[in-house]
Amino acid sequence: MKLRHPLSGLVYESREDGNVEVSDDQGRSGVFTTAGRWIRGELREADPHFAGFVAGPMINAAGRIQGSRGSDKKAAPARTGVAVPTFDTRNDGPRAGRHKEREMDLGLDGRKALVTAATRGIGLAIAQTLADQGCDLAICARGEAGLETARKDLEGRGAKVFTQVVDVADGDALTAFVSGAAEELGGLDVYVSNASAGGGPGEKAWQPTFEIDVMGAVRGVGAATPHLAQSDAGSVVIISSTAALEYLGMPQAYNAMKAALISFASDMSQALAPQGVRVNTVSPGPVYFEGGNWEMIKQAMPAMYESALAQCAIGRMGTPEEVARAVVFLSSPAASLVTGANLVVDGGFTKRSAF
């Protein structure tokens, strides 16, 4: 495909190797990836969205998808029914994901991402999915053993990994970790604030939930902003919860703090837009995994577990991987027009009408 950009007048042409060549009327040209990253040539800047469009998949006469990297595969037939899809984002070897043909290129190859509390559950799944999409990672947690296990897993997926033991409630430690991560990775493109103190009744739960959930996000985003602003696709995703949206069994700090995060992210999306940084939240519903809260609730309070399960419209609770895919999409250049949004990922657990 060959098209002229409507604003700059530059000509974008897809190449056989899957990249895009951009040229001007003076004979200068440059070669870029489909995410708009410069590879070589005199021209060093390109519109990443236009590059991705020009090199996007096309259906040829044989009914096959001609992909952006020259692949040729059969177009999938339309699907019907309600079967739960499964996805294998794992690659065949170190760094393979950076060149492997994907159904949808999120533009994350070579990006630098930081995820807090990323050694188990949703946080680990987010880090794994980012690694499978070609990102290098910085992760933190309070336990050294969990970090080491996660590091080996992520490096096995081809990512460069920077780890550090951090208590997110310690503002100085968190700020130092963010700065160190940006230096070690060579910048930051994605910041995911995932750390949470969890639920709990009574007054004693308010202070730790405020320090970890709310101030952890506030301090972390503040420290990351100068680095994200230098990216051509800076993005923040804050993990909230459906507990912020509807009554979850009892009044507790967790519900109020998760609601505060949605408001904070909405404000920051406006404040950081001029610097090219998008800010969104993801609110998971009940997520079941081994060692997680809902497994413990199932064992200790089976009636509460069954009640929550019955509220899931799809007939089951979510998985960390399903939440991670939503987070990674929202954090990627593929969601470049989305900022200030709260994406609910709950299988129909909440029943409100959201406008």
pLDDT digits (tens, 9 = 90+) for 282-315: 999 999 998 888 888 898 889 889 999 999 999 9
The verdict on 64 and 104 lying in the same domain is no
Q: Per mean pLDDT, which range of 44-58, 67-81, 197-211, 270-284 is the poorest?
A: 67-81
Same domain assignment for residues 27 and 120: no
Mean pLDDT within 266-285: 97
Q: Pick the residue with more confidence: 335 or 290?
A: 335
Catalytic residue, candidates 112, 258, 288, 332: 258
Helix axis angle, 293-300 to 302-310, nearest 10°: 120
| Contact between 24 and 45 (Cβ < 8 Å) | no
Let me know if residue 350 belongs to a domain: no
**pLDDT, tens digit (0-9, with 9 covering 90-100), for 47-96:** 877 777 777 643 333 333 333 333 333 333 333 233 344 444 444 444 44
Do 304 and 232 share a structural domain?
A: yes
141, 119 contact by CB (below 8 A): yes
CATH code, 118: 3.40.50.720
Question: Can 12 be counted among the known catalytic residues?
Answer: no
Residue labelled with tokens 């000509």:
11
- Per-residue confidence at 103, pLDDT binned at 50, 70, 90? low
Residues 272, 279 contacting (CB under 8 angstroms): yes
Residues 61 and 127 in one domain: no
Task: Kindly name the residue from 14, 68, 231, 240 that is annotated as catalytic.
Answer: 240
Residue 111: how many CB atoms within 10 A of its CB?
Answer: 26
Read off the tokens for 62.
Answer: 């044989």
The per-residue pLDDT for 93 is 43
Both 117 and 55 in a single domain? no
Question: Is 254 one of the annotated active-site residues of the chain?
Answer: yes
Which of 254, 288, 305, 331 is flagged as catalytic? 254
Which residues are registered as beta bridge partners of 29?
23
Residue 177 lies in a domain: yes
Domain encompassing residue 112: 96-345
203 part of a folded domain: yes
Active-site residue, 204 included: no
Rounded to the nearest integer, the mean pLDDT of the chain is 86
Question: How many structural domains comprise the chain?
Answer: 2
Domain for residue 101, yes or no?
A: yes
CA separation (Å) from 109 to 48, 136, 290, 295? Answer: 13, 9, 30, 35
Quick one: pLDDT at residue 322? 97
Q: Does 331 reside within a domain?
A: yes
56 and 123 housed in the same domain: no
Q: Where are the beta strands (DSSP E) in the chain?
A: 2-4, 11-14, 20-23, 29-32, 38-41, 58-59, 64-66, 72-74, 112-116, 136-141, 161-165, 190-193, 234-239, 277-284, 342-345
pLDDT at 41 over 80: yes
What was the pLDDT predicted at 56? 60
Please name every residue paired with 345 in a beta bridge, in sequence order, or none if there are none. Answer: 284
Is residue 214 included in any domain, yes or no? yes
**Choosing from 241, 269, 331, 332, which is the catalytic residue?**
241
Question: Residue 177 corresponds to which tokens in the numbers above?
Answer: 């970790």
- 108 torsion bin: left (phi>0), alpha (psi -120 to 50), beta (else): alpha
Q: Does residue 193 carry a catalytic annotation?
A: no
Residues 172 and 305 in one domain: yes
Q: Is residue 90 part of a domain?
A: no
